[in-house]
Chain A
Amino acid sequence: MASLATIFGSGAMTNSIREIEGMDVIFIIGSNTKETHPVIANKMLKALRRGAKMIIADPRRVPLVKAADLHLRLRPGTDVALLNSIAHVIIKEGIHDAEFIADRTEGFEKWKKSLTRFTPQYAEKITGVPPKDIIRAARLYGGSRRAGIFYTMGITQHTHGTDNVNTVANLAMVSGNIGREYTGVSPLRGQNNVQGACDAGALPNVYPGYQMVSFPLVKKKFEEAWGTSLSGKEGLKATEMMPAAIKGKLKALYIMGENPVLSDPNMNHTVKALESLDLLVVQDIFLTETAKLADVVLPATCFAEKSGTFINTERKVQLVRKAVVPPGDAREDKWIISELSKRMGYPMDYESSSEIFKELGELWPALAGITHERLRKRGIQWPCPTKDHPGTEYLYRAGFPRGKSSFTPVQYKPSAELADKKYPFVLTTGRNLFQYHTGSMTRRVEPIEVHAGEPYVEINTNDADKIDIANGDMVSILSRRGRIDAKARVSEIVPAGMVFVPMHYHEAAANLLTNDALDAHAKTPEFKVCAVRIKKK
């Protein structure tokens, strides 16, 4: 998201879910949309019924491949080479949008030069994708002016995730597929309110509304609004907090509704970090793996027990309504935070969540026109600067906030840890259809647990034959950081040389294996590529 904000001005999905139905080309890269965003996949299927074409770039044969026109089965972590090569072909064939490039972008010539060596033949060596498929993808996507790109963590969770996002953006710009209806760059958000958490400023470098903490004028604005002096120093990112705890620089951590023990890479390292703290406070609805390590556990409420807003992946602010009373003495998170703040000598008193939202809107013009009252009728997409503004379905209609957007030359860099003799498989992690994230909710839903309650590892048929593993055998998966045991699912879903482990299962936690190497810019860990060995148990 940070990289997308740098390129275009806003770190969010540029277009809307509704527009998917009207797209002519849908390019999905690094997103298992049918399993992780099923209802968005339904919209895509609707477009296909209308005659739209679909390209999927993914090492795995994900369920939507069945409906796609083209499957680019690239080697994990080689997205830059693939996308550069597609751009190379678009320019070579002259199907780029010259007018858009001239009017709304800069740095085209320099970027064009950086693509010279990314011929389809060169890209094939890196990605394993046949040149004819790269050319076909380029003609489909680059030849359309109603084409959208969709991605998720398959693009971002790499040590070169920022590079990946840059190449995606380059592709949208070279084909002019941004700033209009039925186009756009659409990172699909994985959690109900990850957009809202970012918008509200739960980020170490920005205040609410992506306003930089390091700009003195911005800092002054928030100091005045909040009536206290603030720090102008950028804070630690989540993935930097764990090493800081081990080094003794971070002494206390207050965690609200997260389970980093399971969701962060290299679990042993995370546990060690949390155990090094002087104070760990966890506010959650269950005694999660993280809460078990806490000094204080505060019982909180879930979505059905509170009122407020969630902001979805397309920037749509929607009203969440209280339906049931929380169990026992569990309290709303906003009550807990306010009580704690009062005891810290900084009282924050609000009558209701709508009053909190109003304050946020006063500090960030994009939300200024939205009130809980307006949301009672329907959700509204930001930016919505005034009370009579209908909201914004797609961004950059009138241009980019920073004037012109820049092409970013990107060179291919291999992942931090590659398969070798000792660890010959590439492990990638992700979600499946039924379970959700660290499973603290879905694993307590009986039908889901009955149907999808068992951890597994996907192995390619040929690989399984070679190491004498049959479908259903228990195997050990070992990396340099840890080991888990799970049942083998032998199929063609993963290509040879790759295995896949879902992240949901604490008894076979994928993140015991993953590498905590980070993207230098976004500090996103490389969940999608690390080296492992498979052993029959």
Chain B
Amino acid sequence: MINLTIDGKNVIAGKDMTVLDAARRAGISIPTLCHHPKLTSFGGCRLCLVEIEGIPRPVTSCTTLVGENMVVKTSTPHIVELRKTILELLLSDHPNDCMVCEKAGDCTLQDLAYYYGISENPYEGERRTYETRDGNPFIERDMEKCILCSRCVKVCDEVQGVGAIDFAYRGFQSKICPPFERDLDCEFCGQCVAVCPTGALTGKLWAHKGRQKNVNKVDTVCTYCGTGCNLTLHVKNNDIIRVDSAMSTWNEGWLCAKGRFGYSFVSSPDRLKTPLIKKRGKFKEVSWDEALDFTASKLKNIIKKHGADSVGGLSSARCTTEENYLFQKFIRAAVGTNNVDHCARL
């Protein structure tokens, strides 16, 4: 255990901890853009600069390990000035279009500009422009909003093991792109979208469906494979408009393409909305009473004529445990046979 002082507060930290982690654990906030708790740090954005006694220049707290008796100051006037300048430089080359940005209200860059009260741009000059839109169907890549924090590059490599994107060119021309600047063609897990601190990466499905206001967030479990990732459905006007997953879930917020982007079937126009009975080869819409009465009387007749073992039921690995329990109970107790199974083998 290491003892240090941060902003006059005595803090105890583990010896492998960074100054940033120690400060945050002690409830002292330090702004960051490139740092992400699940990814390696590289001190890229410079926002987490702090002063440490005995070190002549400010250092990045995300890459500096704690030391015994270290004295850290996180928000001296000098540091605050530096942070503002960094933010002004970032914003000088960032579209000022928060009014129409998908990420507004959920954007770290916007939050920081708000916090430090940056509204003017003292650094007018050349801007990066990107005219071509990435044609992939899942992820909107608005590279004019990219601040080159590299979280997306890191998550793709370190978490997903794919490496679909990386830095290309240098200096002002630097950009993050797939090989040969082609359209993105990857696993489309959307981990990059989840970690992007600005509006550079968003889901194409999200567009114009609603931002943070009047959104009901419901925590649930993914409906696809058996991993059981925890999801949060963002609901507006009885429509799922976005899916994400919190970092605090057991799946650490990571999802796959199906879990993150595969939700629109719920509101598909193809959904069945009325019970149907086939009459002379054609489906006819009927009431629930008619459908249920017809089914029950047919089943009763078949049981009477051929015995309960002439009836079978296929339950569903898609349905809840409770529904499966009811279904097998129905087949066993109401019909009277053990002919019940589901697709575990298929």
Chains A and B come from one and the same complex: yes
| Residue of A202, A336, A523 ringed by the most chain B CB atoms within 10 A | A202
Asked whether B298 lies within 8 Å of A343 as measured between CB atoms, the reply is: no
Q: Mark A168-200, 1 if CB is under 8 A from B, else 0.
A: 000000000000000000001111111111111
Contact B272 A37 (CB under 8 A): no
For the complex, give the distance between the alpha carbons of A213 and B224 in Å. Answer: 31
Across-interface contacts of B255 in A (CB, < 8 A): 39
- Chain A to chain B contacts (Cβ below 8 Å), 20 pairs: A191-B225, A200-B325, A203-B342, A230-B332, A238-B341, A250-B312, A257-B319, A295-B277, A300-B272, A330-B273, A339-B292, A340-B330, A341-B330, A343-B296, A348-B333, A356-B325, A433-B256, A440-B265, A444-B268, A446-B264
Q: From residue B279, how far is it (CB to closest CB) to chain A in Å?
A: 9
B195 is an interface residue with CB less than 8 A from chain A = no
> Which residues of chain A are near B247, meaning CB under 8 Å?
none
Interface residues of B in 296-331 (CB under 8 A from A): 296-300, 302, 305-306, 308-331
Interface: A144 (CB within 8 A): no
Q: Which residue of B lies closest to A358 (CB)?
A: B322
Is A253 an interface residue, CB under 8 A from the partner?
Answer: yes
A461 to B85, CA, bound (A): 57
Instruction: Provide the residues of chain B in CB contact with A208, threshold 8 Å.
Output: 325, 328
Q: CB within 8 A of B345: which of A37, A236, A237?
A: A237
Chain B hits for A472, CB < 8 A: none
B291 is an interface residue with CB less than 8 A from chain A: yes
- B129 interface residue per 8 A CB criterion: no
Cβ contact within 8 Å between A451 and B295: no
> B341 near A346 (CB under 8 angstroms)?
no
Binding site for B on A (CB under 8 A): 1, 17-18, 34, 36-42, 45-46, 49, 66-67, 156-157, 188-205, 207-208, 213, 222, 226, 228-231, 233-239, 241, 244, 249-258, 260, 263-264, 278-279, 281, 284-287, 291, 294-300, 302-314, 316-325, 327-334, 336-341, 343-346, 348, 350, 353, 356-357, 359-360, 378-379, 433-434, 436, 440-442, 444-448, 450-451, 522-525, 527
**A48 nearest in chain B by CB position:** B161
Which of B161, B265, B320 contacts A308 (CB under 8 A)?
A: B320
- Cross-chain contact B336 with A321 (CB below 8 angstroms): no
Majority SS of interface residues in chain B? mixed
Is the beta-carbon distance between A49 and B158 smaller than 8 angstroms? yes
Residue pair B228, A379 in contact (C-beta under 8 Å): yes
Contact segment of B10-18, B54-62, B232-240: B232-240
Asked whether A436 lies within 8 Å of B224 as measured between CB atoms, the reply is yes
A295: chain B residues within 8 A (beta carbon): 277-278, 298
Contact with A along B234-251 (1 / 0, CB 8 A): 010011100000000011
Q: Are B271 and A299 in contact (CB under 8 A)?
A: yes
CA distance A379 to B275 in the complex (A): 35
Shortest CB distance A227–B (Å): 8
B293 near A: Cβ within 8 Å?
A: yes
Closest residue of chain A to B290 (Cβ to Cβ) is A296
Q: In the complex, which residues of chain B have a beta carbon less than 8 angstroms from the beta carbon of A198?
A: 342, 344
- In the bound complex, residues from chain A placing their C-beta under 8 Å from that of B312 are 235-236, 241, 244, 250, 252-254
A485 → chain B closest CB, angstroms = 24
B230: min CB distance to chain A, Å: 7
A253 to B328, CA, bound (A): 13
Which of B251, B288, B308 is A329 in contact with, Cβ under 8 Å? B288
Determine if B343 and A320 form an interchain contact, defined as CB atoms under 8 angstroms apart.
no
Query: Do residues B228 and A192 form an inter-chain contact, with CB atoms below 8 A?
Result: yes
Bound form: Cα–Cα A207–B335 in Å: 15
A294 to B281, CA, bound (A): 10
Closest Cβ of chain B to A284, distance in Å, is 7
> In whole angstroms, how far apart are the Cα atoms of A299 and B312 in the complex?
20
Report which residue of B233, B306, B314 has the largest number of chain A beta carbons within 10 angstroms of its beta carbon: B314
Q: Is B75 an interface residue (CB 8 A)?
A: no
- Chain B nearest Cβ from A53, distance in angstroms: 15
State whether A448 touches B322 (Cβ < 8 A).
no
The answer on a CB contact under 8 Å between B225 and A192 is yes
Do B223 and A200 have beta carbons less than 8 Å apart? Answer: no
- CB of B256 within 8 A of CB of A230, answer no
Are B161 and A45 in contact, CB atoms less than 8 angstroms apart?
yes
> Is B137's CB under 8 angstroms from A451's CB?
yes
Decide if A252 touches B342 in the complex (CB within 8 Å): no
Contact present for A344 and B342 (CB under 8 Å): no
Beyond A286-B270, A304-B233, A444-B264, list 15 extra A-B contacts (CB 8 Å): A37-B227, A39-B229, A189-B226, A194-B343, A203-B340, A235-B337, A241-B314, A251-B306, A256-B313, A263-B346, A279-B295, A298-B291, A323-B216, A344-B330, A356-B325
B296 contacts A197, CB within 8 Å? no
Query: Is B274 a contact of A329 with CB atoms below 8 Å?
Result: yes
Interface centre among B251, B315, B324, B327 (most CB of A within 10 A): B324
Residue from A228, A285, A304, A527 in contact with B333 in the complex, judged by beta carbons closer than 8 Å? A228
Contact present for A255 and B314 (CB under 8 Å): yes
CA of A330 to CA of B283, assembled, Å: 16
Tell me how far the C-beta of A245 lies from the nearest C-beta in chain B, rounded to whole angstroms: 8
B92 at interface (Cβ–Cβ under 8 A)? no
CB proximity of A86 to chain B, nearest CB, Å:
26
Among residues of A, the one whose C-beta sits closest to the C-beta of B161 is A45
Interface presence of B160 (CB below 8 A): yes
In the complex, residue of chain B having the shortest beta-carbon distance to the beta carbon of A263? B346
The answer to whether A313 and B296 touch across the interface, beta carbons within 8 angstroms, is: no
Question: Is there contact, CB below 8 Å, between B298 and A252?
Answer: yes
| Given A42-B160, A304-B240, A253-B320 contact (CB < 8 Å) | no
The answer to whether A310 and B271 touch (CB under 8 A), given A192-B225, A236-B312, A444-B265, is: no
Picked from A286, A296, A316, the residue with its CB within 8 Å of the CB of B295 is A296
| Closest residue of B by beta carbon distance from A527 | B346
